[in-house]
Chain A
Amino acid sequence: MSLYLQPRQSGAAPTPYERKLAGAIEEVFGTGVHHLEGLVKGLNALGIHSPGGEAWTTDTFTDEIRRMGA
């Protein structure tokens, strides 16, 4: 009997862009900033922009993260 051991169960593997964004989000959170405005500011300061290449706003970020977090 082969046993089920699947490390990834939450969906498709992240894209390179998603990995980069996730790393930047962790970097900002790691500084202790846990509110939305601070996160968006922190991502823009790191130069990690939206998929369209623009600086994030709280609106564009919440829309995009809702889609990617679904």
Chain B
Amino acid sequence: MVNRLRKAALTGDEIFATGMRDQWHAVCPSDFVARGDMKKIRRLGEDWLLFRQSDGTLRMLADRCPHRGAPLSQGQHLGDRVACQYHGVQVDGGGTVVSVPGMPGCNLEGKRLVTSLPVREVAGAVLAWFGTDPDAEPAPLELPERLTDEGISHFLCYAEWKAPWRFTLENLLDPMHGAFLHRESHSMFGGETSAKFRIRETDRGFFFEKTDQRGVNFDWVEFCRTGIDWVDLEIPYPPTAGPGGSFGIVGMGTPIDAETTAVFFWRYRRVEGWERDVWRFLYRTKLEERHWVVLEQDRTMLEAMAFDADQAENLYQHDLGVIRLRRLYRAQAEAQAKSLQEA
């Protein structure tokens, strides 16, 4: 008989605070974990160990030794497994105890006692499936086409903000802040400061867009649920950025815990040949810094907002996208909590 950690079923409020389960989330940039390295990381309010085997395969385990509960992240990397620092218990990448050196042949050996999340590496980032049932197969993952299209070039910008994940996503579903918060920026100085918005349904989510302006500022955003939640949006560059038109952003926000979020912004542009090379050169030398200034405007605002800022709002038509997003996540959190309680 072995023991596994059993926590009380998460409530709807807890799921809403720390993130939706049973879907893929972006975890961190791939280069955070080099071959032979280990990294402790907190996501969706829990501690995890990322370790890259000597063959390059990345693994993600619950950071808890099945013997006495010590963090595996303090242990040793043994190529294809991790040895707990406390008593030497060895766990492989799939979460199976492969050796108990202190008591060879003990009944822990051969048992899969540590949660191991399915992981994929896409466009420079690690994605993981956070299932409520650790033995269930992950749902299919359809990647944002902007990240797989060979005619599109992209750079990942990753950051960690002291703001709830819902604020970071709501910010992306709120194009109108571009004309105010980002008025002083290289890309969002133009266009009207008033607008009328509409929601347009798609088979994977919805667009939230201005009805009277496009291609001038942050004028539309598409929210997509394809096994992973992400947004797509476009913002014009000034002429100094050269050929290729607007740049786009594929954005994701993954809860670290209820108050902190890992944000992922893939800045992309439809450019090939010399235009691609010039954009990448300008990005590295000039544009990355300017994009960062814009992102810092967002971070500064979101981090300064009270944790309960959304408890006494007076919303208007521009907030339809935000309202839609909240309803969707609130309903999903409640549904997931209900099925966890019934399980």
Q: Which residues of A contact B (CB under 8 A)?
A: 1, 3-11, 14, 18-19, 21-23, 25-27, 29-32, 34-36, 39, 61-62, 65-66, 68-70
Q: Within 8 Å CB of A7, what residues of B?
A: 288-289, 292
Q: Within 8 Å CB of B242, what residues of A?
A: 25-26, 29, 34, 39
Beyond the given A65-B274, A69-B277, please list 4 additional residue pairs across the A-B interface where CB-CB is below 8 A.
Answer: A1-B42, A34-B239, A34-B242, A39-B278
Q: How far is the CB of A29 from chain B (nearest CB, A)?
A: 4
Q: Within 8 Å CB of A62, what residues of B?
A: 273-274, 277
Q: Within 8 Å CB of B158, what residues of A?
A: 4, 6, 9
A-B contact pairs, 10 of them (CB 8 A): A8-B289, A9-B156, A22-B285, A22-B286, A26-B286, A27-B240, A30-B238, A31-B239, A36-B274, A65-B274
Q: How far is the CB of A31 from chain B (nearest CB, A)?
A: 8
Q: How far is the CB of B255 from chain A (nearest CB, A)?
A: 14
Of all chain B residues, the one with the shortest Cβ separation from A15 is: B285
Q: Within 8 Å CB of A22, what residues of B?
A: 281-282, 285-286
In the bound complex, CA of A69 to CA of B156 (Å): 15
Q: Within 8 Å CB of A61, what residues of B?
A: 274
Q: Within 8 Å CB of A26, what residues of B?
A: 240-242, 282, 286
Q: Is the CB of B285 within 8 A of A5?
A: no
Band of interface residues on B = 20 to 34
Q: Is the CB of A25 within 8 A of B278?
A: yes
Q: Within 8 Å CB of B285, what residues of A?
A: 14, 18-19, 21-22
Q: Is the CB of A10 within 8 A of B288?
A: yes
In the bound complex, CA of A70 to CA of B162 (Å): 33
Q: Within 8 Å CB of A39, what residues of B?
A: 242, 278
Q: Is the CB of A5 within 8 A of B160?
A: yes
In the bound complex, CA of A35 to CA of B239 (Å): 12
Of all chain A residues, the one with the shortest Cβ separation from B276 is: A69
Checking A5, A19, A27, A34 against B243 with a beta-carbon cut-off of 8 angstroms, the contacting residue is A34
Q: Is the CB of B280 within 8 A of A69?
A: yes
Q: Is the CB of A1 within 8 A of B260?
A: yes
Q: Is the CB of B239 within 8 A of A68?
A: no
Q: Within 8 Å CB of B156, what residues of A?
A: 9
Q: How far is the CB of B7 from chain A (nearest CB, A)?
A: 22
Q: Within 8 Å CB of B42, what residues of A?
A: 1
Q: Within 8 Å CB of B273, what residues of A?
A: 62
B189 interfacial by beta-carbon distance below 8 Å:
no
Q: Is the CB of A29 within 8 A of B239?
A: yes
Q: Within 8 Å CB of A18, what residues of B?
A: 281, 284-285
In the bound complex, CA of A68 to CA of B238 (Å): 22
Q: Within 8 Å CB of B48, what residues of A?
A: none
Q: Is the CB of B240 within 8 A of A29?
A: yes
Q: Is the CB of A65 within 8 A of B278?
A: yes
Known: A9-B155, A26-B240. Contact between A69 and B260, CB under 8 A?
A: no
Q: Is the CB of A5 within 8 A of B288?
A: no
B283 interfacial by beta-carbon distance below 8 Å:
yes
* B 80-105 to A, binary, CB cutoff 8 A, 1 in contact else 0: 00000000000000000000000000
